[in-house]
Chain A
Amino acid sequence: MPREELKQSGERQRQFLNGFAHHILVCTGLGCLHNDEIIRALGEVIATQGLEHHILVRKVGCMGLCALGPMVLILPEEISYQSVHPRDAAEIIAALGKEPVQRLLLPPNLPFFSRQQKNVLALSGRIDPENIDDYLAVGGYNAAITALTEMRPGDIVRQIQESGLRGRGGAGYPTGLKWSTVAKAPGSQKHVVCNADEGDPGAFMDRSVLESTPHSVLEGMIIAAYAVGASNGYIYVRAEYPLAVKRLKLAIREAKRHNLLGHAICGAAFDLNLEIRLGAGAFVCGEETALIESIEGRRGIPRPRPPYPAEHGLWGHPTLINNVETFANIPLIIERGAAWFANLGTEKSKGTKVFALTGKIKHTGLIEVPMGTTLREIVFEIGGGIPGGHTFKAIQTGGPSGGCIPAEHLDTPVSYESLNELGSIMGSGGMIVIDETTSMVEIVRYFMQFCMDESCGKCNPCRVGTAQIHGLLDKFCNRTATEADLATLEMLCQLVKNTSLCGLGQSAPNPVLSTLRYFRQEYLDRIVDPAPPHLENQP
């Protein structure tokens, strides 16, 4: 479909939407319960009152504040309702254009929303993820069309490099550098892969982006494929995300119908075929070399790097692998320019980052803040603090391979570097808040259990080491550990960290190491004194 037709599609949708006096947007993320019933109830009320041409009910993606879900947003008044039940439908519709329903009203200017800066999530909860016209109506795919019709691949790579964007999947590798490596790698066949195998406990950033704005990820992939010269693409998404998979499939189909995927995209001499590959539930497949093995149809076990996938990836071809959120940032950078992006964030960590706030925190949900925002702002202002009169103890960042950061470091601005210095990692963006009722040793044992269960078993230090560390943590939890066990624990952590084959093993000891650093006393308190020897005459 030529550029003009796409614009017309968007314009038609805009006019259609503008034809309604009120829009009722209902969150249809996986986390919000009853949303189908709410939509049905609203529809019934509208039908009985004959308001079909006056009020439009739209299902949209995640609005972020999952703790108070299901959420409903009234446009153009920008009124948000929380914890909505299907039986509230009549009341909500009756209040349209009048005084809002007070008992459902979300307090205006809630720091949860006002302190965020949404770029990747800007359209999340605002458009229908299952309707490409909704995305086109708000200027979607403009960046891809601009890139394909007006820019040379080299210009795009340079722009991404200048933006300072770093991989959002965890390691923070400079995205532009990766793109330029793949672009320069010799080979007629290249691939782009979207890593949507989000497996960290407590992380749901990628799921939410895929469920809310799947087209933004496709658009990022189209631009990336054009920039590096790839004609094939895969989205490796975990099968545990059925809604994301459904919406991605629909998005790919619609994008193909609009000639945004397939042959001679937008009239440019550029083809791209995108396919979905479902992960079968192995955490390690989020590791890029294991992910490659899995796409190739083999057991998902990591390969030694180098060679890096950028030179030797899928079937030996140069392969660009980026995370969901990384791709979702691309259209914004192309649209608004590298300088806009580079002005956000800190010196070395640019842009905004999506975090999933979970654990002992009032406002459980999905947030997006500029890099450099302090942990305190995230936990106490945006997150609303610790519920139930409890006190903050630690925040675990970066999933099962991240570290636990104590209260004295709450004023640390969040960036790849600052979190590393504290013995943690950015990871994909999961943040689990822990209050004083939780034992650090027990939560660390949980994370180690996760790493032990998810170790692929290929290399010895990770396979056996994580099991031995877990066994030692068991002893600390049961208060049967000795001082020698503490020494063994520290030694094993160093061994597994320094000798494991892939990132899973190398980072698995992080929770132990960081809690040994900040909460050592909790380990010491669980050490038993050696049993007093009872001497008797006769052995």
Chain B
Amino acid sequence: MTAQIITLTINGLQVSGLASETILQVARENNLPIPTLCFLEGLSTQGSCRLCMVEVAGSPKPQPACVTLIQEGMEISTHTEQLLHYRRKIIELLFSERNHVCAVCVSNGHCELQDLAREHGVDHIDFPYRYPAMTVDASHSRFVLDHNRCILCTRCVRVCGEIEGAHTWDVKNRGIRSLIVADFDTPWGSSTTCTGCGKCVHVCPTGALSEKGKSVAEMLKKRPSLPYLVANRTLEH
């Protein structure tokens, strides 16, 4: 079977890709950055953070670049005023949702949410903070789960299910009450499925999952070079 080659324009630049590629893949191949948060190469895509939304000429609403396949003749804009506004507001919504206190966070300085805020000029949060009472699960011998810092991107859920094959993590409740839980909502330390591999910790974009004993700004994650993610990428191709 010969792969179908498709040509399209992104921000006025003519680019080409395979019919099986997403807008995000083609954009990144061409050094046209699109911000993402739930997306992590090597894991399944779910299009939930809505930061990678791009405008496609002829489509009334923006489309998520991470799950939208390219089509012949598409005209895509990745950084219109409207999109930048949406992205800023979505970042603000995330900050308002739980208790993100960067100054005392283990991931301060190494956090994807924090970086996105800076890149998008989010210097304050217009929405009222919700200040929910969230718990910290420190029952695991090596790791900590701090719900205050979780943005529900479900990277941990996916890496655990798709790569480690343990499916320790999942989401309970729905809507604003959603929570990441281990097994059937047991303390992480008493999970019977967790292998202690730490993959979830390293794919977590914020300080929600961290190694025990790390203090403010000490939790450096090995994300870009994680071998299992790279391997999974190759498998998909």
Seen from chain A, the residues whose Cβ lies within 8 Å of a Cβ on chain B are: 282, 284, 299, 303-304, 306, 452-461, 463-468, 471, 488, 491-492, 495, 498-501, 506
Contact = CB atoms under 8 A, between A and B. Distances in A.
Given A304-B64, A498-B61, A501-B50, A460 B176 contact: no
B175 to A, nearest CB: 4
Contacts of B46: 303-304, 458
B89 interface: yes
A465 B175 contact: no
Interface string B74-112: 000000000000100110011011000000000000000
Looking at A454, A464, A492, A498, which has the most chain B CB atoms within 10 Å of its CB? A464
8 contacts: A454-B174, A455-B174, A455-B176, A457-B178, A458-B46, A466-B175, A488-B127, A499-B53
Nearest to B91: A460
Interface in B163-184: 170-171, 173-178
A299 B126 contact: no
A499 B50 contact: yes
* Closest A-B pairs by Cβ, 5 of them: A457-B178, A455-B175, A464-B93, A304-B47, A467-B176
Contacts of A488: 126-127
Contact of A465 (B47, B64, B93): B93
Nearest to A303: B46
Given A456-B175, A461-B50, A467-B175, A304 B93 contact: no
Contact of B176 (A303, A306, A464, A491): A464
B63 to A, nearest CB: 9
Given A458-B46, A460-B49, A460-B50, A499 B86 contact: yes
A463 B152 contact: yes
A499 B174 contact: no
B7 interface: no
Given A463-B152, A471-B128, A498-B62, A457 B50 contact: no
Interface in B24-80: 46-50, 53, 61-62, 64, 67, 69
A465 B151 CA distance: 14
Contact of B178 (A306, A463, A498): A463
Contacts of B177: 457
B130 interface: yes
Nearest to B90: A460
Contacts of A457: 152, 171, 173-178
Contacts of B130: 467, 471
A206 to B, nearest CB: 22
Nearest to B86: A499
B61 A452 contact: no
Contacts of A491: 89
Given A461-B90, A461-B93, A495-B90, 16 more contacts: A304-B64, A304-B67, A453-B175, A456-B174, A456-B175, A457-B152, A457-B173, A461-B50, A466-B175, A466-B176, A467-B97, A468-B96, A495-B86, A495-B89, A499-B53, A499-B62
B122 to A, nearest CB: 14
A459 B49 contact: yes
A467 B97 CA distance: 9
A453 B170 CA distance: 19
A488 B151 CA distance: 22
B127 to A, nearest CB: 5
B46 to A, nearest CB: 7
Looking at B94, B130, B174, which has the most chain A CB atoms within 10 Å of its CB? B174
Contacts of B62: 498-499
A282 B172 CA distance: 13
A501 B47 contact: yes
Nearest to A456: B174
B175 A499 contact: no
Contact of A498 (B86, B97, B170): B86
A190 B174 CA distance: 30
B179 to A, nearest CB: 9
A465 B176 CA distance: 9
B47 A299 contact: no
A282 B171 CA distance: 15
Contacts of A455: 174-176
A453 B178 CA distance: 11
Given A464-B97, A498-B62, A282 B174 contact: yes
B50 A284 contact: no
Nearest to A300: B174
Given A299-B170, A463-B152, A452 B175 contact: yes
Nearest to A464: B93
Contacts of A453: 175
A455 B171 CA distance: 14
A481 B137 CA distance: 37
Contacts of A282: 174
A330 B195 CA distance: 53
A465 B90 CA distance: 8
A305 to B, nearest CB: 9
Contact of A454 (B53, B97, B171, B175): B175
A459 B47 CA distance: 8
A461 B91 CA distance: 10
Contacts of B127: 468, 488, 492
A457 B157 CA distance: 14
Contacts of A458: 46, 48, 152
Nearest to A284: B174
B151 to A, nearest CB: 8
A471 B176 CA distance: 12
A379 to B, nearest CB: 32
Nearest to A468: B127
A492 B64 CA distance: 19
A492 B92 CA distance: 11
Nearest to A307: B69
Contacts of A492: 89, 127
Contacts of B86: 495, 498-499
Contacts of B90: 460-461, 495, 499
B176 to A, nearest CB: 4
B33 to A, nearest CB: 19
B211 to A, nearest CB: 27
A463 B127 CA distance: 14
Nearest to B61: A498
Looking at B48, B86, B151, B171, which has the most chain A CB atoms within 10 Å of its CB? B48
A458 B174 CA distance: 8
A501 B173 CA distance: 18
Contacts of A471: 128, 130
Looking at A463, A465, A488, A506, which has the most chain B CB atoms within 10 Å of its CB? A463
B78 to A, nearest CB: 15
Contacts of A452: 175-176
Contacts of A306: 69
A468 B61 CA distance: 22
